[in-house]
Structure 1
Amino acid sequence: RLNAAGRLDDMTLGIQCLLAESEKDAVVLAQKLHDLNKQRRSIEADMQQSANISLDDITVADQYSISIYESDWHQGVIGILASRIKERHHRPVIAFADGGAGLLKGSGRSIAGLHLRDALDLLSKHQPDLILKFGGHAMAAGLTIKAEDFNLFKLSFEAVVKSLLTEADLEAVLEVDGSLSASDMTYAVAQTLENQVWGQGFPPPLFYDEFEVVNQRILAEKHLKLSLKARSGSSSILIDAIYFNQTQFLDGPILVAYQLQTNDYNGSQKVQLNIRHVNV
């Protein structure tokens, strides 16, 4: 929620909330941040829908990269959008928004094997006038181009990425940490994992197990909420699961890659599986 202020308005609001001298002031500011975050989510959902429609018109599998732009996209949310598209298609992605004065502001996300900042640097050496400014690191970058140069950038960036990646690099690899026994799928274990420090190159554990789908429903019109039962062992305990941005029901036994997490809601503390990938 703190980030939402910087994305849509002014990061000063988040700083004021952190520095508030009374709980009353902090609550008022926190509510404003909450409202901004809800607005950010709505904008992001609309942008994702728009992006999906645009990508339906092309064969992504034949491309090494994705450059995408819509005139009504919000500058503060294009980084999140690029990340979502990258996760879905496993391609380096740069999403652009109108930057005013005939310019486009872009935000990119990359995959393992492509240093995004270096790729943009290589492109700028090939075509010095194409990218007005850029910066970033291996996995994320920002840049500015002229609006009239979008199609040229799209073709040129694709050529650079194609020269740096192989077809094998475009195959997503999901590394898991093996199975987790049903007896360890507890709130205490999930809390212990969440209390650790994870990050780039050291992600939280991702487990892989087979489950029976006992119950499932659509949550907030865009997520799948499930009750699962582990097929290994003799335990008959049901465990909650959430599959974000998934609206299709799952049939039969499923093989699930998931993270164990806590779910505190209305005073109730439960463990749930955050599903990252499913094989039916």
Structure 2
Amino acid sequence: MRWTLKPKPEIAKIKELAQQLNVDTFIATLLLQRGIETFDDAKRFFRPSLNDLHDPFLMKNMDKAVSRIEAAITNNENILVYGDYDVDGTTAVSLMSSYLLSIYPNVATYIPDRYNEGYGVSYQGIDFAEDNDFSLIVALDCGIKAIDKVAYASEKGIDFVICDHHRPGDEIPQAIAVLDPKQTDCHYPYDELCGCGVGFKLIQALASGRGQTINDLIPYLDLVATAIGADIVPITGENRVLAYHGMKVINNNPRPGIKAITHQLNKKKLTITDVVFIVAPRINAAGRMKHGQHAVNLLTEKDLNVAIGFASEIEDFNSDRRDLDKQITEEALEQIHANNEQERYTTVVYKNDWHKGVIGIVASRLTETYYRPTLVFTKSGEKLAASARSVKGFDVYNALDACRDHIEQFGGHKYAAGLTLKEEQYEAFKQKFEEVVDSTIDRKLLTPEVLVDAEIDLDVITPKFYRIIKQFAPFGPGNMTPVFMTQNLMDTGYGKGVGADEAHLKITVTQSFESTIGDSKSIAGIGFNMGDKIELIKNKKPFSAVYSIDENEWNGNVSLQLKLRDIR
């Protein structure tokens, strides 16, 4: 790993902020690195307020979207809430449909089948709307590129309101209203909302016209926080406010569907990381293995006992997903070795019978292994479909755009995208993608980077220090868990490999200084998948480490520990 120490803010600024907030200089440093420079900034950061949310009508076309939905209600029209099959899409559909049903009965939901229809708005979905007399479709987390589909719906007398957050193409669909803060002519103050977040702004606008306040919408924030965590959007600005209050709902009064997933966890308080690694994969598993509608059924169910039944079904999907993910990852690694492709700047693999529902996860696993922009292809009908994942600092969406001559369609973000192409284009595309990445990627991006917030000594780590850091949560892009570096560490002699195949490294360290007299502070540390580094710490050899700080609970005792990222 590359260890990159973040620039240290000006000493005068550190001292001034430390004094204003009555915190030590290390905490002031961490805050300044996050753009928090004043007492008021800190207040907003530590106590995010729902009053800091922006007026939803600042978003381009919001007034048109609200007018069209209100007209549908007045005219007794049927409204179809349509969304993608992943976590962002299914939470957004659950949010929008449950809000609309609280004010109006003629509302139904539609999630496209991942295998028969693919991503986004589909012709089958529009045909379903026509057959069932829906005259308005509210599309969430998709639609920004559905130019032909929206035109097709229009011919059938079906209107669209689109709530999306993906990057628009050159042309915008001719919908009644397109809500997407990434449109170049949309001047909404925050453009990093997820799809569920854009949906939330629409219900906020609808609620304001009905005399409801933001407090009436708090029960929906568990869905928004789940989508923010799962979709890996920055936890800054408005997302931070929504995630902070959404986590409160998840911990204090979650909807039955989320409670059904988490009720067996033996944790007093869930973090957004728990949501990302426990709640989100289960919601995702429905669309990956069976159908995304199962996730919507779970998230909109009001009876806890029924929800527990749905959750146990989804648990089975998740278990199947894990088995497939492991099997396909192994096959992909074999393919890379067999073709001797470890030295390329990209990882591109294909097998026609790989399960389409897990290729995105496999792409992430391969990126972790080789740390290259990665594409995993499978057969999907007459075409090949792929999931793309990137490395930090490299825009895979732009790289795909440069290969558009070989692609049928693509969409997504800087670090994750999806595409389809004709089978006969596969080899040409693979070659072109390698050329584009080879000619544009900065070579240092091919080594994983760990960003270090500050270098500290072990004696800085106290319960009070950790208590303040915990209040920096929720953590995520734009506000990552603080990472520290400490030099002159020494294992006390009990370091060992633990877990299956001794894959993890467990140590207890002290810090040695020339001037140290007597015992210095010791603290435990755990390094997951770092068992192979045991030789670096044996025989009390001095070493440096980068780590975050967390709590270890054992037999009812809670102690601080270092969660190791790398040692050298």
Q: How would you bin the TM-score normalised by the shorter chain?
A: 0.7 to 0.9
Q: How many pairs does the alignment contain?
A: 269
1:23: Cα distance to partner?
A: 2.5
Match of 2:416 among 140, 143, 150: 140
Amino acid at match of 1:218: G
| CA distances 1:221-265 after superposition (whole Å, capped 9, x unpaired) | 6x83443212326234544x2515x66473341644333345678
Query: Are 1:38 and 2:319 an aligned pair?
Result: yes
Q: Equivalent residue for 1:251?
A: 535
Q: How far apart, in 2, do the equivalents of 1:247 and 1:20 lie? A: 44
Q: How far apart, in 1, do the equivalents of 2:561 and 2:319 lie? A: 23
CA RMSD for the aligned pairs? Answer: 3.2
Q: Equivalent residue for 2:565?
A: 276
Please say if residues 116 and 141 of structure 1, whose CA atoms lie closer than 8 Å, have aligned partners that are also in contact.
yes
Q: Secondary structure of the equivalent of 1:96?
A: strand
Percent identity, aligned pairs only? 29
Please say if residues 372 and 391 of structure 2, whose CA atoms lie closer than 8 Å, have aligned partners that are also in contact.
yes
Q: Equivalent residue for 2:389?
A: 109
Query: Are 1:122 and 2:402 an aligned pair?
Result: yes
More strand by percentage = 1
| Farther-moved stretch of structure 1 (227-236 vs 189-198) | 189-198
Amino acid at match of 1:250: I
> Alpha carbons of 1:267 and 1:39: their partners in 2 closer, same or farther (altered >3 Å)?
farther
Q: How far apart, in 1, do the equivalents of 2:555 and 2:331 lie? A: 34
Please say if residues 182 and 230 of structure 1, whose CA atoms lie closer than 8 Å, have aligned partners that are also in contact.
no
Amino acid at match of 2:448: A
Return the TM-score normalized by structure 1: 0.80
Q: Equivalent residue for 2:303?
A: 22
Q: Equivalent residue for 2:499?
A: 218
Match of 1:227 among 500, 506, 521: 506
Please say if residues 348 and 375 of structure 2, whose CA atoms lie closer than 8 Å, have aligned partners that are also in contact.
yes
Query: Are 1:189 and 2:466 an aligned pair?
Result: yes
| CA distances 1:83-105 after superposition (whole Å, capped 9, x unpaired) | 2222332211111122122x111
Question: Highest Rg: 1 or 2?
Answer: 2
Amino acid at match of 1:43: L
1:171: Cα distance to partner?
A: 3.5
Query: Are 1:149 and 2:436 an aligned pair?
Result: no
1:22: Cα distance to partner?
A: 2.6
1:181: Cα distance to partner?
A: 2.7
Q: Secondary structure of the equivalent of 1:80?
A: helix
1:204: Cα distance to partner?
A: 1.9
> Alpha carbons of 1:132 and 1:19: their partners in 2 closer, same or farther (altered >3 Å)?
same
Query: Are 1:87 and 2:372 an aligned pair?
Result: no
Q: How far apart, in 2, do the equivalents of 1:191 and 1:23 lie? A: 36
| Farther-moved stretch of structure 1 (194-203 vs 81-90) | 194-203
Q: How far apart, in 2, do the equivalents of 1:192 and 1:17 lie? A: 34
Amino acid at match of 2:295: G
Q: Equivalent residue for 2:442?
A: 166
1:82: Cα distance to partner?
A: 1.4
| Farther-moved stretch of structure 1 (188-197 vs 253-262) | 188-197
Amino acid at match of 2:510: R
> Alpha carbons of 1:143 and 1:14: their partners in 2 closer, same or farther (altered >3 Å)?
same
Question: Which consecutive residues of structure 1, in runs of 5 or more, have no partner in the other structure?
Answer: none
Please say if residues 353 and 378 of structure 2, whose CA atoms lie closer than 8 Å, have aligned partners that are also in contact.
yes
> Alpha carbons of 1:160 and 1:11: their partners in 2 closer, same or farther (altered >3 Å)?
same
Please say if residues 176 and 257 of structure 1, whose CA atoms lie closer than 8 Å, have aligned partners that are also in contact.
yes
Match of 2:353 among 68, 72, 91: 72
| Farther-moved stretch of structure 1 (230-239 vs 148-157) | 230-239
> Alpha carbons of 1:237 and 1:205: their partners in 2 closer, same or farther (altered >3 Å)?
closer
| Farther-moved stretch of structure 1 (265-274 vs 154-163) | 265-274
Match of 2:479 among 202, 213, 218: 202
1:275: Cα distance to partner?
A: 3.9
Amino acid at match of 2:521: S
1:196: Cα distance to partner?
A: 0.8
Q: How far apart, in 2, do the equivalents of 1:196 and 1:68 lie? A: 37
| CA distances 1:90-138 after superposition (whole Å, capped 9, x unpaired) | 211111122122x1110111224432222211211xx2xx211111121
| CA distances 1:191-221 after superposition (whole Å, capped 9, x unpaired) | 95387123334322223344635233224x6
> Alpha carbons of 1:236 and 1:198: their partners in 2 closer, same or farther (altered >3 Å)?
closer
Q: Equivalent residue for 2:342?
A: 60
